[in-house]
Structure 1
């Protein structure tokens, strides 16, 4: 039964990677498409290519997740927790896509793991323990603080960007910023691949380690390629509902502020993935940067009622997916 459960977890992880790319490609292309720096087709192709490259570049974050392990039990119980978490995160991702609301796949996955782990106790299964401090300081805290940091950095970055371009004509400023956005769209997608591509790798590696098919110190090449290809495939199909929200319903952004938001969020993803080994939500980072850059304008351009609704979705992601994860784990418990 355990090999079958392992295969199901791998398939579900592939579906999660596809949905992640489908859901989050909007973050890479929204501002570039909104300011006409790129056409929608070129933007999506560019994002998909750099998502693939980013996911193939590094496995350090995935190995960190595996090392932390959340105290995941071995055997069928651990596989059941992972499967329940993936199903919960996938269900939330489909719902938020349908509603056109940007949300964090990482928050959803963590919420699902925590909820499923708690439900395991109700079925007299092994408990998850031993990773509380690492979970709080190195995973939850960066995810919670990153939107605030992105907002403040983007708001502040508009000032030097405006000062540097003060002597140029508006036409040239817009043209140059659109060119910069074309480059930064690829850079952000690369950062997204570095960050989110490794979530799927971590889940599969945890499943393999818990089943005794791998060690936690090395990432099998097929796992990395599997996650990268499915993340890229999801990006190619593109969830345009969320692109419309970020580009048109959230804030009226010009090329300079769009370039600033993309630059700030790209740098944060790279620093988090490569230097600090912190997981950051690309959705939260880009959305907050867009709001921060857009708020730094002479006219009130931010649609605050829409921002409030998005914040409600963000705050509800972890609790709702935790509840879903618990429900799915209880439903799976007869098979574990």
Structure 2
């Protein structure tokens, strides 16, 4: 087995590991609020989230969500390109593990794109080819959604509480909670499906990109095997997902009733579907869900949002592009003498 083949298998393994970590961390996105309001039991919530994440991943190639497809042919061929991908995956994965350990929901998408941009900059500094248009990828895939997604999710969730509470003003609390829990259970499945469509496409793209860089696949090819592999690891991560981040989203940011929980998850699911099918943009599931929950919870007569914890999460969202880009650049510089 050649050194290039060994490097290819190493990057493929790290990509699968990153997909598992992505699902492990993001399981809370679709189930936290539903479990908090008792719309779903924890066991059933994780099972349906894993199933719909798998289905969404297998459907994701139909929507062409932009992340890597526009730049996949510009990654350097051979070992330099694989080294760049490896540094990006390790940097994004390390930041994701740290934030998970601290119970902080951050975007795996933003971490990966920022790490690719940082590794590309370090590669160019060493005189090698980097990912062309990496700055455009960083702006369109991280900076613009970082501003757009939280604001839109918060605003729509906040505003939709008004007509929703007006429509149920003559209903009993038991009836409202019962219908809202049923609606929230459906919305949780929709969020899991949207998560698979969004993040699953990027997992499959990274696997395909690795094979193309190692000359093991043709550029532009979409292989069922890579998509199935990515779907398996992403959904397995959801199935075994931890509850640190779920506890933060469900209990440490805002107090929610079932009606507001249904509104929040409906808004976030709609954003994920529109981002994939209409705008073809890589939206962060974490940011959409978290911002929607805070927005819906903020529109109550009593103060329900713990802004201290919300601000802590926001600071880590802003820090993610900087930390991941710098860490990936440092890792590439460190690995270059060994693998370059």
Q: Is TM-score (shorter-chain normalized) higher than 0.5?
A: yes
* Pair 1:224-2:205 in alignment: no
Structure 1 pair 63–104 and aligned structure 2 pair: CA distance change class (3 A): closer
Residue 17 (structure 1) aligns with: 19
SS in 2 for 1:298: coil
- Alignment deviations for residues 249-277 of structure 1 (CA, whole Å, 9 cap, x no partner): 00001101100000000000011111211
Which of the residues 42, 45, 64 maps onto 1:43? 45
Q: What displacement does 1:138 show?
A: 5.9
Structure 1 pair 320–133 and aligned structure 2 pair: CA distance change class (3 A): closer
* Pair 1:186-2:189 in alignment: yes
Per mean C-alpha deviation after superposition, the further-off stretch among 258-267 and 315-324 is: 315-324
Aligned equivalents of 2:263 and 2:73: distance in 1?
36
* Pair 1:285-2:284 in alignment: no
Aligned equivalents of 2:98 and 2:20: distance in 1?
15
SS in 1 for 2:69: helix
Gaps of 5+ in 1: none
Are the equivalent residues in 2 in contact too, given 1:58–1:194 (CA < 8 A)? yes
Structure 1 pair 143–208 and aligned structure 2 pair: CA distance change class (3 A): farther
Aligned equivalents of 1:255 and 1:123: distance in 2?
54
**TM-score normalized by the length of structure 1:** 0.96
- Alignment deviations for residues 217-250 of structure 1 (CA, whole Å, 9 cap, x no partner): 3311110000000011111111200000000000
SS in 2 for 1:168: coil
Q: What displacement does 1:215 show?
A: 3.0
Gaps of 5+ in 2: none
Which of the residues 246, 250, 267 maps onto 1:247? 250
Aligned equivalents of 1:284 and 1:63: distance in 2?
18
Matches for 1:158-169 after TM superposition, within 5 Å: 158-169=161-172
* Pair 1:200-2:198 in alignment: no
Aligned equivalents of 1:92 and 1:295: distance in 2?
29
Matches for 1:242-321 after TM superposition, within 5 Å: 242-321=245-324
SS in 1 for 2:57: helix
Which of the residues 29, 32, 35 maps onto 1:30? 32
**TM-score normalized by the length of structure 2:** 0.95
Aligned equivalents of 1:161 and 1:222: distance in 2?
44
